[in-house]
């Protein structure tokens, strides 16, 4: 009986292994093709064929491949074509993957200088600013990886604490394992909070050259202010079919037509 179960288990494992191998073999040509397209797009960019570069980078995105470098290069191509909306949108998408990438942050700051709207940000409390810097230090996947690393450290240190016989080393391993556990809990809470916020709070970039922001979701409503291409907005309510309620950095709120922006 046990022998039959063992044979069945081995067969199942072999089948799973075969499926994984076939999946990798199937995915490999697509990956190679994407790399070739990426190099082709880079060649277009270097030869100042920015339209060709944009078209090729966009085709790679449509194939399902996403990376910081891909969004960064695409944004640079749009910048060369003076298309400020798509340029800022793709820099922002690059920052979703790598929040502290200096090249992306520097280029984004240059791109924002080309926007018409100069909006002053409402000053934050120093405590909130410090927490925000920690919160955005890693992406969601980065915090998840940090959590796994600290869990591993905690397990190893706790095993060393359990096996150690000398009191001094035992105390040291206990303190280090406690620190690792605390860091694990902190990373988990930040990752969880970041995941919840990413579900609730969405951002977008204005694509229209100029669009009126309304007091109510209606064309007949009063215009409270106007925004121009490249301005980043926070989406507060998108339940309306044609309008979204937004908020900008200085705290002003209004309704914008959904055809006037693209979500990040």
- What is the pLDDT, as a whole number, of residue 23? 46
User: Rounded distance, CA 57 to CA 97, Å?
Assistant: 17
User: Rounded distance, CA 83 to CA 195, Å?
Assistant: 31
- What is the pLDDT, as a whole number, of residue 15? 57
How large is the average pLDDT for residues 158-185?
Answer: 91
Which of 148, 172, 200 is the endpoint of a domain?
200
Q: Could you tell me if residue 118 is inside a domain? A: no
Helix, strand, coil in percent for the chain, rounding step 5 = 65, 15, 25
Q: pLDDT digit string (tens) for 248-263? A: 999 999 999 999 999 9
Least confident range from 5-9, 53-57, 167-171, 235-239: namely 5-9
Instruction: Indicate if 153 and 190 belong to the same structural domain.
Output: yes
Q: Is the pLDDT of residue 26 over 50?
A: no
Cβ atoms within 10 Å, residue 65: 16
Q: Could you tell me if residue 120 is inside a domain? A: no
- What is the pLDDT, as a whole number, of residue 105? 95
CA angle 165, 170, 174 (to 5 degrees): 145
Which DSSP state fits 26? Answer: H
What CATH code is carried by the domain that includes residue 87?
Answer: 1.25.40.10
Cβ atoms within 10 Å, residue 200: 8
Strand order in the sheet with 223-228: 223-228, 210-214, 253-257, 243-247, 232-237, 202-206, 261-263
Instruction: Indicate if 73 and 130 belong to the same structural domain.
Output: no
DSSP string, 111-148: HHTT-S---PPPPPPHHHHHHHHHHTSS-HHHHHHHHH
pLDDT, greater one: 20 or 153? 153
Q: Could you tell me if residue 121 is inside a domain? A: no
pLDDT, greater one: 165 or 181? 181
Instruction: Indicate if 230 and 168 belong to the same structural domain.
Output: no
Q: What percent of the chain has pLDDT over 90?
A: 62
Which of 112, 140, 168 is the endpoint of a domain?
112
Q: Is the pLDDT of residue 52 over 60?
A: yes
Q: Which long-range contacts (CB under 8 A, 24 or more apart) does 180-189 make?
A: 180/150, 180/151, 180/153, 180/154, 181/150, 181/154, 183/146, 183/150, 184/147, 184/150, 184/151, 184/154, 187/143, 187/144, 187/146, 187/147, 187/150, 188/147
Asked if 157 contacts 176 with a C-beta cutoff of 8 angstroms, the reply is yes
Which of 112, 138, 169 is the endpoint of a domain?
112
Q: Is the pLDDT of residue 19 over 60?
A: no
Number of domains in the chain: 3
Q: pLDDT digit string (tens) for 91-145? A: 999 999 988 899 999 999 999 999 999 888 766 545 455 666 777 777 778 888 9
Q: Which domain holds residue 193?
A: 126-200
Please give the model's pTM, rounded to 2 decimal places: 0.68
- Report the DSSP beta bridge partners of residue 205: 232, 262
Q: What is the mean pLDDT of the chain?
A: 85
């Amino acid at each position: 009986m046990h022998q039959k179960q063992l044979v069945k288990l081995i067969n199942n494992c072999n089948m799973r292994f075969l499926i994984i191998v076939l999946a990798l073999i199937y995915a490999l040509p697509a990956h190679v093709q994407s790399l070739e397209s990426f190099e082709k797009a880079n060649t277009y960019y270097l030869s100042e064929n920015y339209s060709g570069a944009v078209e090729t980078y966009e085709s790679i995105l449509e194939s399902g491949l996403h990376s910081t470098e891909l969004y960064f290069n695409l944004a640079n191509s749009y910048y060369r074509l003076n298309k400020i909306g798509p340029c800022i949108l793709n820099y922002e998408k690059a920052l979703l993957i790598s929040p502290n990438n200096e090249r992306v942050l520097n280029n984004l700051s240059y791109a924002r200088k080309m926007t018409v709207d100069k909006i002053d940000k409402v000053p934050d409390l120093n405590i909130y600013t410090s927490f925000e810097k920690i919160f955005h230090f890693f992406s969601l996947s980065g915090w998840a990886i940090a959590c796994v690393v600290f869990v591993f450290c905690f397990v190893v240190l706790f095993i060393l604490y359990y096996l150690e016989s000398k009191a001094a080393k035992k105390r040291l391993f206990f303190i280090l394992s406690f620190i690792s556990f605390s860091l694990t809990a902190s990373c988990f809470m930040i990752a969880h909070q970041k995941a919840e916020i990413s579900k609730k709070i969405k951002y977008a970039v204005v694509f229209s050259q100029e669009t009126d922001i309304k007091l109510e979701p209606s064309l007949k409503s009063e215009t409270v202010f106007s925004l121009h291409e490249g301005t980043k907005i926070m989406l507060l309510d998108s339940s309306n079919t044609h309008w979204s309620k937004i908020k900008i950095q200085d705290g002003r709120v209004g309704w914008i037509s959904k055809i006037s922006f693209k979500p990040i």
